Amino acid sequence: MEWQDAILADSARLIDAFHDPARLAMIRIALAPCSPFSVTGDLMRESAVLAREKGVMLHTHLAETADEDAFCLSKFGLRPPDYAESLGWTGPDVWFAHGVHFSAGDAVRLGACGCGVAHCPSSNMRLASGSAPTRQLLEAGVRVALGVDGSASNDGCHLLAEARQALHSSRVRGVPGQAPNPADALTAHDALWLATRGGAAVLNRDDIGQLAPGFAADLIAVDLRDLGYSGARHDPVGALTLCAPPRVALNTVNGRVIVDGGELLGVELPALVERHDAHSRRMIGLA
Ligand SMILES: [Zn+2]
């Protein structure tokens, strides 16, 4: 198929041009056909072959909604995780966004085959998709990270806000018809782990996600004197994941200072915000 060959050829071109496997690399390419219900099985299968040839990771959005379960069952005779498996999408080089509708059995299988999951709680709640079984996934040995999905379903895209949402959503999660299960509840430390070391684990990286010798200097500093932390300063991790998400005072990415004194460096912010507003108004027909 012509268009499929074009997609695969362009994917190979981008990997060759930009993928950097070196330690502390800032650009890694993964092949990410959007979802099993929006691309052909052939493209999913061939993307997996290409990714393994080139040594890059595979990503797609899976088991997000109850509709997707019904669609995959009627079209392929398989539930989303079984369909992904039938296409070769299992292993430590694969991670899925969402996983809201993974069963307890799916969690065990994902843990055994080494797949990762990017939990996207804000998007899942905003779109009324449900809430992923994060605790069950972690207990089954699945590597779990946090994701923001995309700006169509998550306007903030704020990772600390996502950690807070993960913590809160784990505490209201229940099987339909049953009360939430306190055993599903994540702790403040769990939420911070998902936002940092969980992300590194899902991406198979041993050079980011924690502050340690030889790791990238990726760090944020938050001013606990901020009014929002009043009364919570005795517990910095709890403050960070339970209080309103802050704007950081300092942010360095791989040692480069990006935010200093609360200001984003190297960007004309008012002009950028004005342009963003203009594009947004045009897109929704207000211009
Ligand atoms: Zn998604």
CA of 61 to the centre of ligand 1 (A): 5
Q: What residues have their beta carbon closer than 5 A to ion ligand 1?
A: 61, 97, 149
Average pLDDT along the chain: 94
pLDDT in tens, 77-101: 999 999 999 999 999 999 999 999 9
| Cα torsion 240, 243, 244, 247: sign | negative
pLDDT at residue number 261? 95
Distance CA 22, CA 38 (A): 33
- Classify the C-alpha dihedral 46-48-51-54 as positive or negative: negative
Q: What is the pLDDT of residue 183?
A: 80
| Residue 119 CA to ligand 1 centre (angstroms) | 10
- How much distance in Å is there from the Cα of 242 to the middle of ligand 1? 25
- Model confidence pLDDT, tens digit, residues 242-266: 999 888 999 999 999 999 999 999 9
The pLDDT of 124-144, averaged and rounded, is 95
CA atoms within 13 A of residue 177's CA, in its CB half-sphere: 0
Q: CA-CA distance, 198 to 195, in Å (whole number)?
A: 6
For residues 194 and 167, what is the distance between their CA atoms, to the nearest angstrom?
10
pLDDT band of 232, cuts 50, 70, 90: very high
Token reading at 41: 């099985």
Confidence of residue 151 (pLDDT cuts 50, 70, 90): confident
- What's the pLDDT at 175? 64
Query: How far does the centroid of ligand 1 lie from the alpha carbon of residue 271, in Å?
Result: 30
Domains of the chain: 2-213 (3.20.20.140), 217-287 (2.30.40.10)
* Reported confidence tier of residue 159, pLDDT bands at 50, 70, 90: very high
Span from the CA of 139 to the centroid of ligand 1 (angstroms): 23
Cα of 98 from ligand 1 centre, angstroms: 7
pLDDT in tens, 26-72: 999 999 999 888 899 999 999 999 999 999 999 999 999 999 999 99
Q: Tell me: the pLDDT tens digits for 172-226?
A: 876 666 777 888 899 999 999 999 999 999 999 999 999 999 999 999 999 999 9
The rounded distance, in Å, linking the Cα atoms of 112 and 228 is 42
The half-sphere exposure of 189 on its side-chain side, counting CA atoms within 13 A, is: 1
| pLDDT given at position 174 | 67
pLDDT for 176: 61
Report the percent of the chain where pLDDT is more than 90.
Answer: 88
* Residue 55 Cα to ligand 1 middle (Å): 24
